[in-house]
Amino acid sequence: MNAKQKRWRNRIIVALVLFALSYLVAESGWLASQLGYPGALYAEFALFLVPYLVAGYDVLVKAARGIVRGNAMDESFLMTVATVGAFALVLFPDTEPHMAEGAAVMLFYQVGELFQSYAVGKSRKSIADMMDIAPEFANIMVDGELTQVDPYEVSPGDEIIVKPGERIPLDGVVVQGASQVDTAALTGESVPRQARENDEVISGCVNLTGALTVRVTKPFEDSTVSRILELVENASEKKARTENFITRFARYYTPVVVGIAVLLAVIPPVILGGGWADWIQRGLVFLVVSCPCALVISVPLSFFGGIGGASRVGILVKGSNYLEALAQVDTVVFDKTGTLTNGTFAVTAVRSAGALTREELLDLAAHAEAYSNHPIAASVRAALGCALDHARIEGVEEVSGHGVKALVDGQEVLVGNGKLMRAHGVAWEENDVAGTVLYVAKAGAYAGCVVIADELKEDAAAAIAALHEAGVRRTVMLTGDRADVARAVASDLRIDEFHAELLPQGKVEQVERLLEANARASAKGKLAFVGDGINDAPVLTRADVGIAMGAMGSDAAIEAADIVLMDDRPSQIARAIRVARKTMSIVRQNIVFALGLKFAVLILAAFGIANMWMAVFADVGVAVLAILNAMRAMSVKKL
């Protein structure tokens, strides 16, 4: 609690004690015995006025100032009218006195307001803590001494020193030192990464084990940490439809309820010819319920909490509207390379034709490809896993577009595609597996083949399964790759639909076709496109929700997408959807709960059943509960 809230609390306690004393005096009957009727009534009136004013003088002042400034319809004004009204019922001596109720309502209202202010402050603070990834200083060497400076003052090219335990303040490249780096604040991934010389390091990560000297590559305002903070803080500018609805609703709700309150207080007694006190009291209850604060606070707070929580697990959402759309996603379209696959080539199969073991075959192929710098050759060497003996290799000859011819251990080895085999008259077997096939011939005889394909990401299959489980109806894969490769990947991952051999423009067309199909089915389901953000910007913008992944440090991806996954695990997509669904369900709960309770009290009040107490609960009590519920949106770690 801050100082202002403490003073507020103390004032409420004083008022509470005074109220209890007044209540005892009034109930004891001592006033009545001393002053008789109606003197006792007026004495009671004065008695309750004391705690009322102690508790609520600021509300009265605020209401008065509001009227002067031309803003009559605010909460303070409504509370003032309601409580003053309760006191004014003393003018109808034939009814029960309501002074105690008026004072109590003001007290209760203040207690609720204090709670509300406290809860909002608490949630502001926990969200601020959650976003506490901004580095406060950078260490630079000045005249041989380590000096702390503001990260803003460091420019690209400068060298900074990051000690163990410190946060890396700016993006850069390690020039000296080796360490483990904790990226959890950015990606949610708890396994630390290695950082050695020439490795890139990202601001916002925590340096764990050793001191690093880093050459800064970006100014602070363009560094990853600044971009993320800016993105998350500005996310609330893009409001969800639900939020806009609530704001619009609030604009009409208060005047309408106040209008009904006035009608309720005036028309029935005129028609019925009496009962003013009762009907006025019903009208006053309406006034207390007429503030839409619970909704106006809790809905944006839920979105803010959801977006903040998601950012902690490496999911950056650029606006509440995207979180809302993500919750309705029922079609997820993937780009293949870099999204479901690593985009790097690796040996996936080695098939011997009979004479050689698979190890011998791979050994031959790797040696023949020893001097090639083609990525496929590199992947064959990597698959061998041990150092090459260059003494065994002679007379290497690359045949462009065909493959390699070399002497290994004195025997002619051919490694390449079918054309190479045909050119040398080798009787080879056509292989129709997905991927690039390297045929190997030794001394003019076919020896077997090595299959190289883009590797699936470890969690790709689990990611697709999780999406289906989360209620995604359809998964689609788009790729520029060959159809047989695409078919294999799609069936391995259990993707519902795939389209291969597409040019970038073709991907846009496919997405448009799917969007149209969705619209035609008049389903409310949204379409999300997931790509690596490098060359699929047009598709990312065309989809309802564009998701870019593997974006640590990639500006292009952060620009183009609506939702950015900081690391490159596709399972984060399902997680993002779960976060979005949870946030939306909290939003809905709050709307239903707050509106439901308010309407219930309004109806009860119209029939004269609800009293002021219920009304105050429906106002501030509901607000506090809704805020507490909204705070749940922040915890997404377990999703």
Partner 1 sequence: MRKAFKLQDLDCANCAAKMEADINSIDGVSKATVNFMTQKLMIDADVPDAASFGTIVDRAQQICSKYEPDCLILR
Write the DSSP symbol of residue 529. E
The rounded distance, in Å, linking the Cα atoms of 290 and 285 is 9
Secondary structure element (H or E) that encloses residue 446, with its range? strand 445-456
Residue 549: HSE in the Cβ half-sphere, 13 Å Cα cutoff: 24
Pick from 598, 70, 636: nearest CA to 289? 598
CB of 246 to partner 1, least distance (A): 9
Nearer to partner 1, 75 or 101 (CB): 75
The rounded distance, in Å, linking the Cα atoms of 279 and 266 is 7
Residue 123 in the binding site for partner 1 (CB under 8 A): yes
Select the residue interacting with partner 1 from 32, 35, 250, 407 (CB under 8 A): 250
Task: Answer whether 342's CB lies under 8 Å from 460's CB.
Answer: no
Residues 230-249 that bind partner 1 (CB under 8 A): 233-234, 236-237, 247
Select the residue interacting with partner 1 from 82, 90, 201, 296 (CB under 8 A): 296
| Whether residue 484 lies in the annotated active site | no
The rounded distance, in Å, linking the Cα atoms of 169 and 172 is 9
Residue 456: HSE in the Cβ half-sphere, 13 Å Cα cutoff: 19
Q: Which entry of 330, 335, 532, 619 is annotated as an active-site residue?
A: 335
Torsion sign across C-alpha atoms 362, 365, 370, 373 = negative
Task: Answer whether 211's CB lies under 8 Å from 161's CB.
Answer: yes
Here's the x/- map for partner 1, 63-92, by CB under 8 A: it reads as --x---xxx--xx-----------------
The rounded distance, in Å, linking the Cα atoms of 427 and 422 is 8
Residue 306 in the binding site for partner 1 (CB under 8 A): no
Phi, then psi, of 413 in degrees rounded to 5:
-120, 135
Largest Cα–Cα distance in the chain? 127
Nearer to partner 1, 19 or 304 (CB): 304
Secondary structure element (H or E) that encloses residue 426, with its range? none
Q: Over the Cα atoms of the chain, what is R_g? A: 36
Strands 172-176 and 474-478, by their bridges, are unpaired
Contacts for 395-400: CB closer than 8 Å, 24+ residues apart: 396/368, 396/370, 396/371, 398/372, 399/423
> Tokens at residue 563, please?
């939702």
Nearer to partner 1, 467 or 630 (CB): 630
Select the residue interacting with partner 1 from 195, 205, 297, 636 (CB under 8 A): 297
Secondary structure element (H or E) that encloses residue 166, with its range? none
Pick from 233, 159, 240, 165: nearest CA to 197? 159
Nearer to partner 1, 231 or 383 (CB): 231
Residue 221 in the binding site for partner 1 (CB under 8 A): no
Instruction: Write down how long the chain is.
Output: 639
| Stretch of 37-45, 83-91, 115-123, 383-391 lying at the interface with partner 1 (CB under 8 A) | 115-123
Select the residue interacting with partner 1 from 26, 31, 293, 597 (CB under 8 A): 293
CB of 590 to partner 1, least distance (A): 13
Residue 117 in the binding site for partner 1 (CB under 8 A): yes
Helices (H) and strands (E) in the chain, counts: 22, 22
CB of 334 to partner 1, least distance (A): 34
Select the residue interacting with partner 1 from 10, 30, 46, 124 (CB under 8 A): 124
Nearer to partner 1, 205 or 296 (CB): 296
Residue linked to tokens 């580095």: 135
Residues binding partner 1: number (CB under 8 A)? 27
CB of 305 to partner 1, least distance (A): 9
| Stretch of 220-228, 294-302, 417-425, 527-535 lying at the interface with partner 1 (CB under 8 A) | 294-302
> Tokens at residue 81, please?
């009218």
The rounded distance, in Å, linking the Cα atoms of 230 and 227 is 5
Residue 110 in the binding site for partner 1 (CB under 8 A): no
The rounded distance, in Å, linking the Cα atoms of 173 and 165 is 18
Classified as helix, coil or strand, 273 is: coil
| Stretch of 165-173, 295-303, 396-404, 546-554 lying at the interface with partner 1 (CB under 8 A) | 295-303
Residue 300 in the binding site for partner 1 (CB under 8 A): yes
Nearer to partner 1, 120 or 378 (CB): 120
| Stretch of 117-125, 439-447, 459-467, 570-578 lying at the interface with partner 1 (CB under 8 A) | 117-125
CB of 296 to partner 1, least distance (A): 4
Nearer to partner 1, 304 or 428 (CB): 304
The rounded distance, in Å, linking the Cα atoms of 316 and 629 is 22
Residue 228 in the binding site for partner 1 (CB under 8 A): no
Select the residue interacting with partner 1 from 12, 59, 89, 127 (CB under 8 A): 127
Residues 451-480 that bind partner 1 (CB under 8 A): none
Nearer to partner 1, 405 or 598 (CB): 598
CB of 98 to partner 1, least distance (A): 27
CB of 113 to partner 1, least distance (A): 9
Interaxial angle between packed helices 622-631 and 293-312, expressed in degrees from 0 to 180 and rounded to the nearest 10: 10
Nearer to partner 1, 222 or 509 (CB): 222
The rounded distance, in Å, linking the Cα atoms of 24 and 35 is 16
Secondary structure, 3-state, 378-439: HHHHHHHCCCCCHHHEEEEEEECCCEEEEEECCEEEEEECHHHHHHCCCCCCCCCCCCEEEE
Select the residue interacting with partner 1 from 102, 177, 268, 292 (CB under 8 A): 292
Other CB atoms within 10 Å distance of the CB of residue 389: 12
CB of 482 to partner 1, least distance (A): 47
Nearer to partner 1, 315 or 631 (CB): 631
CB of 74 to partner 1, least distance (A): 7
Task: Answer whether 266's CB lies under 8 Å from 611's CB.
Answer: no
CB of 60 to partner 1, least distance (A): 13
Task: Answer whether 448's CB lies under 8 Å from 359's CB.
Answer: no
Residue-wise DSSP of 497-516: EEE-S--HHHHHHHHHHHHH
> Tokens at residue 307, please?
């977006």
Nearer to partner 1, 44 or 113 (CB): 113
CB of 71 to partner 1, least distance (A): 5
| Stretch of 104-112, 293-301, 477-485, 572-580 lying at the interface with partner 1 (CB under 8 A) | 293-301
Residues that bind partner 1 (CB under 8 A): 62, 65, 69-71, 74-75, 117, 120, 123-124, 127, 233-234, 236-237, 247, 250-251, 291-293, 296-297, 300-301, 304
- Catalytic residue positions? 335
